Amino acid sequence: MEQTHAGVEDCSVSGFESAEKVIIRWDATASEEAREKMIFNDPNEVKLYLNAVDEIQKFVSSSAGDVENRANSAIQIAMARLEDEFRNILVCHSSPINSDSLMLSSSSSSSSQLEVDEDGTSSNNGNEDDDQEEEETDLLKRSSSSASTGSAAVRLPTGRGSYSRSTSSIREIELIPIESVVHLSWIARRMVSAGYLRECIQVYGSVRKSAVDSSFRRLGIEKLSIGDVQRLNWEALEQKIRRWIRAAKICVRVVFASEKLLCEHVFESVGAVNIHEACFMETVKGPAIQLFNFAEAISISRRSPEKLFKILDLHDALIELLPDIESVFDLKSSDSIRVQAAEILSRLAEAARGILSEFENAVLREPSRVPVPGGTIHPLTRYVMNYISLISEYRPTLIDLIMSKPSRNATDSNTPDFDFSELENNKGPLALHLIWIIVILQFNLEGKSKYYKNAALSHLFIMNNAHYIVQKIKGSPELREMIGDLYLRKLTGKFRQAATYYQRAAWVKVLYCLRDEGLHTKGSFSSGVSRSALRERFKSFNALFEEVHRVQSQWLVPDSQLREELKISILEKLSPAYRSFLGRFRSHIESGKHPENYIKISVEDLETEVLDLFEGYSATQHLRRRSE
């Protein structure tokens, strides 16, 4: 019995000494050959070395004296070597994600699987009817049986040898070849078992974080602090926001998701609690904060109207990403990432609401007092209507964000008086805000119209701008639906009323010259036409018409249809009146001296000159056309 026990001890010592020799042979501090070669490039050496590490590990806690010291020394050498091998495998596969592969759909893996043991042998399980979902979620599941040395079987798909998987939005792809993932898992298990968990996490995190940083650079994500972002001019920032939206989707759904899957596969068989969580956060926490800091900087930046739509783009992108963020960062240790994303989303929503309110105030208070030449469309009108047309395109988002109705200070005389109860009852807060913006725009334009010295031009200005507002609403189905036909009819009546006021102010004096009153002489025995009064009447008409033509040919009605309608409306009143006046009194002038001094224009010439109106000619152009 004693001989048997002694034989076992001799066998154990022999095994220890053989394992120790293998460890020492690969000590990079003592061997040039060990420094130049890597163990995991040779499958046979991998088997020998890992078996040696497992053998030495048995003696660390179960022996004493000289053997224990030698075991501890050998383990330290082995862990240093395995750390180098671990780092080398990671570095060899740390290139950034190929952007071309991001466009490819996930290809299904073969359902046939192999079990690859640490000794390099394989066996075909032959079950070709395995459920594909089980295969995708269990690619590196440990076999229920383990060898006495602690080796474990790892199930691999055949074919492309990929462990990538895809959901409806998340696309997890292969970052490291599956064979290398197995090697990393084998190394990690032994490092953790030997008490080198912290070193394992640090090496893994530093190398994989560098790979993530490289992917960020390829995607155009810069390392910018919140201060850096807020100092950028808006034009540069717009481009960065567009790039960030595209890149963020790839980062969350591909880069971060794939890193998480890789951590799970490398460390799931290690045995230490939550080690894959620690390695995942070590890898991506810094990049994730860097990624979301950009959106956070935008959410807290100075508010201005031009930022609204990019903020809404960011909001839409983030709200679309939020379920994926919650899925990828579902670990307790990544609570801060989920919270940051949710808080940014909330701040973006608040920024959008604030910008809309500030935009309303800016429209109301826009201070320009210089009249636009020719009574044409004011730049403010174009800007505001283009702005709210864009707002209407973001209706699905803004309907959820704009929850309160607009309000006005009833005691403030600088705000328009408007009764929202006159509108359709089913108007939501967003629609009421858009209508309110149009109301305050018109209020501002009414004030600007008073800076014109010519009353007719003031009315023409209101007509042009009200017509433009109506046309912009009609040209946008989304905007028209929100504004509603009731208010649209009011706006249409507004520009038609302004057109009527313009014609009265501009042409009443001209038409007044064509009346009969004051031209007849009355005596005791006869009545007739006073030639002198008639001559004065023609002279007044000629002078007034020439002045109106000179001035109003410089005015502008930019809408061609409105311009023609206005000219026709003028001619419908002016042409018959002038033709009738000539018919009644032409003979009285032509029978006297120098009739050409009084009848200077025919009906046809009058109609031609009216057609010159509202073209925005300069004074020089007007004189040139008159001389032609």
Tens digit of each residue's pLDDT (9 = 90 or more) over 579-615? 999 999 888 888 878 888 889 999 999 999 999 899 8
Q: Which tokens hold the place of 621?
A: 């152009």
Integer Cα distance of 607 and 107 in angstroms: 75
Query: In the prediction, which pLDDT does 189 show?
Result: 93
Q: What angle do CA 78, 81, 85 make, to 5 degrees?
A: 130
Query: In the prediction, which pLDDT does 310 show?
Result: 95
Query: In the prediction, which pLDDT does 351 show?
Result: 95
pTM of the model: 0.78
Query: In the prediction, which pLDDT does 190 show?
Result: 93
Question: Quick check: 154 pLDDT over 80?
Answer: no
Question: Quick check: 109 pLDDT over 50?
Answer: no
Distances from the Cα of 154 to the Cα of 137, 279, 284, 412, angstroms: 13, 20, 26, 76
- Mean pLDDT over the full length of the chain: 83
Question: Quick check: 531 pLDDT over 70?
Answer: yes
Output the DSSP codes for 219-284: HT-----HHHHHHS-HHHHHHHHHHHHHHHHHIIIIIIHHHHHHHHHHHTTT-STTHHHHHHHHHH
* Nearest partner of 391 among 427, 419, 353, judged by Cα: 353
Percentage of the chain exceeding pLDDT 70: 82
Query: In the prediction, which pLDDT does 156 show?
Result: 31
